[in-house]
Structure 1
Amino acid sequence: MTSLATARPPVPAATPSRTLAMVERNFMIYRRSITPLLSAMVEPVLYLVSIGVGVGMLVGTVPGVHVRYAAWVAPAILATTAMNTAFNQTSFGVFSRIRMERTYEAILPTPVSVTDIAFGEVASAVINAVLTSIGFVVVMAVAGLVTSPAVLLAVPASVLVGFAFAAGGLAVTTVLRDFTDFQYIQLVMLPMYLFATTFYPLSTYPAVVRPVIEILPLYQSIQLIREPALGDAGWGALVPLAYLLAFGGAAMWIAVRRMTRSMLK
């Protein structure tokens, strides 16, 4: 029989109004400065100019796709922009609020529950991911890299990408012990960014490696955005759609339970 001392605390249900209160709290802080939002745009634009346009001058068109290399790379960088914006907010940002700022210690005595906090942080990260994605679509349009009106589907797609990686970032944060542990995150995120077909097609890999690439969440995110952006919107989008929903849902389940156990113990 489980004793009261070792029993796990129940996981409270999320309340929409209290979740929105967390979102409002976050954006009351963000509105003081748009620097974090603008800084999230700088790196992807630099990658687009240096690799998409610079290397693209040497590559020309992508074989089998018949579009300019820069136009082919741009949707992938858009997907990584949504990924990085959402993941960074729920990993580094939440870890800082737990370990340094002690923000949640002040929130939990109120009617806001741990689940409300988790959902509010993820919702805030998704909103920021969508805003940066919209900004990058504007950059693509100004640079003449839009090849299909279906690129507008990248905006709702960034909601799902943002959700998957925001939930993933929150789940990862619950196992971090110190800021030095973020180095291990980069050992995963950077190779995934480089090899998840961001800069070259899946066909360039040996056949034995391709299944490994295809199970990466960033690969599925790129597929969800790149195909409609290049005018190939179809039923193929259902696979990355289902993958990211499952990935985000599982990560959210883990994050809420681990946060509940650590914050209410």
Structure 2
Amino acid sequence: MTGVPTATRPVSLLLRVVPLYPVSPRRAGQLVYRNLLVARRSWLVFVSGFAEPFFYLFSIGVGIGALVGDVVTDTGSALTYQEFVAPALLASAAMNGAIYDAVFNLFFKLRYAKLYDAVLATPVSAADAAVGETVWALMRGAVYSAAFLLVMLAMGLVGSWWALLALPAAVLIGFAFAAVGLAASTFLRGWQDFEFVQVAILPLFLFSTTFYPLSTYPRPLQVVVECTPLYHGIELVRGLVTGDVRWALLGSAAYLVVMGLAGLALGARRLERLLLA
């Protein structure tokens, strides 16, 4: 560490442990900018990601909600079914947008377009590429979440000023799933392996208290659900949107931060191993 200023040594050591060393925000930002330029040419595909959560909200939240009536949450709050489902669909939109970009698009770039063979011929490192792709994926999830939050506001499904923090919470969800998705894409051998991604995502969407309170499940299943990432994302967003803010939400946020950092570290190492071996 000779020649490194004392104040920057802890940062350098941390980056080596994560590992995201050497990483440059400027170089990672160039990759994000490149993805933005490409997205301008395929904006219709980008916008199509808005459709799924809207359809779920109107078909299940509004249609079935008229039959279900009020829902009592696990914290004792009484909500209409629309108010209960909407924050969960917001969190799911962040997850789906991030996963789609981090897994599907990155796999194509890695295995078929051979984009990173060219990228790593520049000063951009594998860690820069991992950070840049993760940021781009979470940005996509954030755009979907922002649009969905505006729809919720227009429908009167936002019950607290704490909802202003729902968008940063959705960005955090996007970060966690984008980083893990990036790492997962490096293990995929072919298009057939995408079935495993769907097998993982679909149960998360259906069982992470998206449509039912946790108390409706038997206790063994409750324990399993409480260990899943989307459950913590939904708890975080639902608590902020409905105003049911409590200390446990910090634990959910910490869960997502750790998940994102671990996924980013693994993804950076896997990219470096695949491309520089």
What is the TM-score normalised by the length of structure 2?
0.90
% identical aligned pairs: 45
Match of 1:124 in 2: 136
CA distance in 2, matches of 1:87, 1:253: 17
Counterpart code for 1:139 = V
Shift of 1:12: 4.3
Match of 1:16 in 2: 25
Query: Is the 2:20–2:265 Cα contact (8 Å) retained in structure 1?
Result: no
Q: Do structure 1's residue 248 and structure 2's residue 260 form an aligned pair? A: yes
Query: Is the 1:12–1:114 Cα contact (8 Å) retained in structure 2?
Result: no
Match of 1:26 in 2: 35
CA distance in 2, matches of 1:243, 1:12: 23
Q: Do structure 1's residue 141 and structure 2's residue 150 form an aligned pair? A: no
Trace 1:8-157 onto structure 2 (pairs within 5 A).
Answer: 12-63=21-72, 64-157=76-169
Counterpart code for 1:249 = L
Bigger Cα displacement from structure 2, 226-235 vs 87-96 = 226-235
CA distance in 2, matches of 1:38, 1:230: 27
Match of 1:161 in 2: 173
- Calculate the aligned-residue CA RMSD, in Å: 1.3
Give deviations 1:34-89, integer Å, cap 9, x for gaps: 32332111000000011111110001110242211011100000000000101110
Shift of 1:230: 0.7
The equivalent position to 1:230 in structure 2, one of 238, 242, 258, is 242
Segments of 5+ residues of structure 1 without an aligned counterpart are 1-9
Q: Answer 1 or 2: which has greater helix percent.
A: 2
Match of 2:12 in 1: none
Match of 1:192 in 2: 204
CA distance in 1, matches of 2:119, 2:54: 37
Paired residue total: 256
CA distance in 1, matches of 2:20, 2:160: 45
Shift of 1:176: 0.4
